[in-house]
């Protein structure tokens, strides 16, 4: 029994060491990303010509043109649209020399279990994590705001983790912006009409969420937050 326990422990230690090494490497790469940075979440299945993809493109481009870096999960759908918007902004500002960046504007963080074909072609840098928890850590760790477009379980997981981190004061209260009122409306209605009424959440926890259909409004929320901070580089949450 003891030998079995030791073997299991050593197996876990090896896995943990590899995971820690990847996270440390990811943090090193992310420190190269100019601050402030915004993470854009959204579903992989969003169509290229969809309204959500167009808004992700427009918003990411507007952010980059105004000095923000963009972080995504590196895949297609909303992520592709956001990275493309940042890519096009980099071209306009002269940050691209042919296909090579002279200055980083966007980055994608994906999983090793996903094939390289699942990565969109508009990434300046790409990071591969073995586990979802380490990927989510890096998606959040270096951002000062979060924009969430429609998506599935993965997107909702990321959304509610961010809300929980802010609710529990594990990071500063930063903008959480949901794009597409018709998609997120039923979830907000459930939070207000069921979870809040049954005292599972407090009204102040809902105040940290903004819901809009407007790219301009989303950008203004980010801008207002950053203008209230003396140095966006100091907005990283404490461990």
Residue 234 — very low, low, confident or very high, per pLDDT cuts 50/70/90?
Answer: very low
What pLDDT does 92 receive? Answer: 86
| 82 vs 5: which has the higher pLDDT | 82
CA-wise closest residue to 68 among 27, 105, 31: 105
Alpha carbon distance 11, 16 (integer Å): 9
What pLDDT does 237 receive? Answer: 38
Length of the chain: 239
DSSP β-ladder status, 96-97 and 100-101: antiparallel
The average pLDDT across 139-143 equals 91
Alpha carbon distance 163, 188 (integer Å): 13
The answer to the question of residue 239 being in a domain is no
The answer to the question of residue 235 being in a domain is no
pLDDT tens, residue by residue, 83-138: 999 999 988 888 776 655 667 788 999 887 766 667 888 888 888 888 888 889 99
The answer to the question of residue 236 being in a domain is no
Residue 233 — very low, low, confident or very high, per pLDDT cuts 50/70/90?
Answer: very low
- Is the pLDDT assigned to residue 51 strictly greater than 60? yes
> pTM, whole model, 2 decimals?
0.87
What pLDDT does 1 receive? Answer: 82
The answer to the question of residue 237 being in a domain is no
**3-state class (DSSP) for residue 79:** helix
DSSP designation for 44? T
Q: How far is CA 73 from CA 25, 42, 57, 80, 99, in A?
A: 17, 9, 15, 9, 21
The average pLDDT across 45-53 equals 93
Question: In the block, which residue shows the tokens 């998506």?
Answer: 151
What pLDDT does 100 receive? Answer: 59
| 234 vs 55: which has the higher pLDDT | 55
The answer to the question of residue 144 being in a domain is yes
Mean of the per-residue pLDDT values for the chain?
A: 87
DSSP element (H, E) containing 209? strand 209-212
What pLDDT does 236 receive? Answer: 41
What pLDDT does 4 receive? Answer: 84
The answer to the question of residue 181 being in a domain is yes
What pLDDT does 55 receive? Answer: 97
CA-wise closest residue to 68 among 198, 175, 206: 175
CA atoms within a 13 Å half-sphere pointing along the CA-CB vector of 43: 15
Alpha carbon distance 124, 16 (integer Å): 28
What is the share, in percent, of the chain residues with pLDDT greater than 90? 49
User: What CATH code is carried by the domain that includes residue 105?
Assistant: 3.40.50.450
Range of the domain at 207: 2-230
The answer to the question of residue 171 being in a domain is yes
pLDDT tens, residue by residue, 196-217: 999 999 888 898 899 999 999 9
Residue 230 — very low, low, confident or very high, per pLDDT cuts 50/70/90?
Answer: very low
The average pLDDT across 38-42 equals 96
The structural domain count of the chain equals 1
Burial of 179 (0-12, 13-18, 19+ CB in 10 A): buried
Least-confidence region, from 16-30, 49-63, 174-188:
16-30
For 166-171, the CB contacts below 8 A with 24+ separation are 166/208, 167/201, 167/205, 167/208, 170/237, 171/140, 171/237, 171/238
């Amino acid at each position: 029994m003891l030998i079995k326990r030791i073997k299991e422990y050593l197996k876990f230690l090896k896995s943990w060491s590899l995971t820690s090494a990847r996270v440390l490497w990811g943090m090193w790469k992310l420190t190269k990303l100019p601050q402030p940075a915004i993470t854009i979440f959204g579903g992989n299945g969003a169509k290229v010509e969809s309204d959500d993809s167009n808004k992700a493109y427009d918003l990411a481009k507007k952010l980059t043109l105004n000095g923000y870096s963009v972080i995504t999960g590196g895949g297609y759908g909303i992520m592709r649209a956001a990275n493309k918007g940042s890519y096009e902004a980099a071209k306009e500002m002269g940050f691209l020399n042919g296909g090579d960046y002279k200055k980083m504007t966007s980055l994608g963080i994906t999983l090793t279990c996903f094939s390289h074909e699942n990565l969109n072609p508009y990434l300046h840098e790409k990071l591969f994590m073995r586990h979802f928890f380490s990927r989510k850590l890096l998606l959040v760790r270096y951002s000062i705001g979060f924009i969430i477009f429609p998506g599935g379980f993965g997107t909702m997981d990321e959304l509610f983790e961010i809300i929980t981190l802010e609710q529990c004061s594990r990071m500063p209260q930063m903008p959480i912006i949901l794009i597409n009122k018709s998609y997120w409306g039923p979830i907000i209605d459930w939070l207000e009409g069921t979870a809040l009424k049954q005292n599972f959440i407090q009204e102040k926890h809902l105040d940290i969420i903004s819901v809009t259909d407007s790219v301009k409004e989303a950008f203004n929320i980010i801008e207002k937050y950053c203008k209230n901070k003396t140095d966006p580089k100091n907005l990283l949450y404490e461990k």
